[in-house]
Structure 1
């Protein structure tokens, strides 16, 4: 049993590392076509993360005035009875079983934030790598609701990841200066994902977040 668990954990981490490096599976390859979600046309994820971080605008966090999760319509329909959450669970799990109405009835998921293997989909949350409220404070308050919906349901890149509910809720809406994955070995991958998402959507970083991301990138 220990051997099977270790293999699953390693496989999950390897898959995420491959995605960040730009050599992931077809289903998670970032969409860099002209119709990709987002208000800008940036460098593709996988480019030099230190250079991407240096290119981000450093600015104080904006206010939360006007924010609500409803301003980021999420878990949109993806067809065949599935919503965004269902698709992420299917893509990032192993041996996933899907019943009528796209109900996930079984599978195994490795939560890379805390290295926990989960076999009950109800114990999995889909985390936004850059939290919705953090995006709002970083420039998404100026987007249209349509742009925010694309951000919240971005299946083309690194913004959505299946993790344990407990790790997702511990993170909340905090940025990298206030929360890091409990598994230190994942810091490099996490920082690269945050930098890629913020680059993709032309979001800002505050100075503390910039410094925290820079420190995590040094673990790569």
Structure 2
């Protein structure tokens, strides 16, 4: 099937690249927040557990679109005030930065539960064995717990990333020129909604397939040295 893109092909390619950058940047932010949230929820300290619970509950209870709007428009006054303090009164939060913060915040809230489940799946006896061998708690975390946690959490994180990839379309409402915004511009100019929405669907499907292949590679690599149980 060949589509007449009316000269909007380069714009759609640029939008695709912007979508990829937005998804990957949000993934990094979300993984950091998710890991911190999981460590807080499994902490022996009540205050940290409360903080982790509050983060995951609050963020998951509000739609992603609202977080995009709240962070973008709600940061205007704060960023301008900070800009005036440093001599940059025109300083503002870009749509890309707002999208990364919003999507990363939302991804992290769900990743918190994935990481938490993976942490709880690791036998406590392994930590005790590490302490018995004289390892510090920091070394136990980085060399014993996290590698195993990553292997267990990877399938769930992969599913969350698929959702994140499609949620990047929400950032079009604040003016970021990703796939959906470029598609809407093309539709308005060409009056060919079916053509361009179908092209956008193919782009998202292609990105999903490539992401699935990458996730399968990561899973194979993470599972090296581990035998799978057979029924």
Normalising by structure 1, we get a TM-score of: 0.28
**Which structure is larger by alpha-carbon Rg, 1 or 2?**
2
Give 1 or 2: higher strand fraction. Answer: 1
Give 1 or 2: higher helix fraction. Answer: 2
Normalising by structure 2, we get a TM-score of: 0.27
